[in-house]
């Protein structure tokens, strides 16, 4: 029956090896993209939430010891991590009584952690851009190949009837649909995560000097 062959499952099962390979690649891209989006959504949400909570505490409380103790409650927040790196350097300076170039040393420690955190935040996100850029073309390749196969079959069977052409064309167009299905969520996710990461990076850049200033003031306090 023609209807049974036009079903999605039937078309995929009857597809040629090249189209099946294209569909398997797109499926793996789609699964990988959704896994990354779920992971990054959770981690970025935690980072933003904990960073904001720590900032509220930072401006309400004086004393680096209290700030450090509070920062340890927030293991996923980017700003607490940056502050802890500065505090660790501050403690090392305090214990050694070596305060020369203290500001530069604490600033370097904060900068190192800020750079590491920026790299951690952006990790895996470029894969979404890759999927968004390449998936439609991979799907288009599968479509072109499927159409070529359909025309070849027309030449072999000497028949251009709808019953002969429709299954092959439908099979070919599934690859394009699969490419778009993989690409569209990936592009949306990439744009969303890029915007969220830029907010966190801006907060790190803005408040890192505040952290350094608090630690230096505490270090040189009589």
158 vs 125: CA distance, rounded Å: 50
Average of per-residue pLDDT across 65-92? 93
pLDDT of residue 5: 47
**What pLDDT, on a 0 to 100 scale, did the predictor assign at position 139?**
93
Residue that the structure tokens 């996710």 belong to: 189
What 3-state class would DSSP assign to 135? helix
How do residues 10-53 score in pLDDT, each as one tens digit? 666 666 788 889 999 999 999 999 999 999 999 999 999 999 99
Q: Are 129 and 154 in contact (CB under 8 A)?
A: no
pLDDT, tens only, 133-179? 999 999 999 888 878 777 766 666 666 665 556 666 777 788 899 99
Query: What pLDDT score was predicted for residue 147?
Result: 81
Statement: residue 6 has pLDDT above 70: no
Residue 100: pLDDT over 80: no
166-211 pLDDT, tens per residue?
A: 666 777 788 899 999 999 999 999 999 999 999 999 999 999 999 9
What pLDDT does 164 receive? 56
| CA nearest neighbour of 187 among 106, 145, 139, 130 | 130
On the question of pLDDT at 65 being above 70, the answer is: yes
Average per-residue pLDDT in the chain?
Answer: 86
Q: In b/e form, how buried is each residue of 74-84, taking b as 16+ CB within 10 angstroms?
A: bebbbbbbbbb
């Amino acid at each position: 029956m023609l209807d049974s062959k036009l079903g999605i499952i039937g078309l995929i099962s009857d597809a040629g090896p090249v189209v099946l390979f294209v569909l398997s690649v797109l499926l793996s891209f789609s699964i990988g993209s959704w896994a990354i989006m779920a992971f990054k959504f959770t981690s970025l949400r935690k980072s933003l939430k904990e960073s904001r909570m720590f900032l509220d505490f930072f401006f309400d409380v004086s004393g680096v010891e209290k700030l450090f103790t509070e920062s340890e409650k927030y293991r996923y927040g980017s700003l607490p991590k940056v502050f802890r790196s500065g505090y660790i350097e501050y403690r090392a300076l305090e214990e050694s009584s070596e305060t020369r170039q203290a500001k530069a040393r604490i600033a370097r420690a904060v900068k190192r952690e800020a750079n590491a955190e920026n790299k951690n935040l952006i990790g895996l996100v470029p894969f979404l851009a890759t999927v968004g850029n390449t998936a439609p073309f991979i799907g288009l390749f599968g479509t072109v190949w499927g159409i070529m196969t359909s025309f070849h079959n027309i030449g072999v069977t000497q028949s251009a009837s709808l019953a002969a052409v429709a299954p092959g064309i439908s099979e070919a167009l599934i690859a394009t649909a699969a490419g778009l299905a993989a690409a569209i969520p990936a592009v949306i996710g990439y744009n969303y995560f890029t915007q969220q990461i830029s907010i966190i990076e801006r907060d790190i850049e803005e408040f890192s000097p505040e952290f350094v200033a608090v630690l230096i003031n505490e270090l040189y306090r009589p």
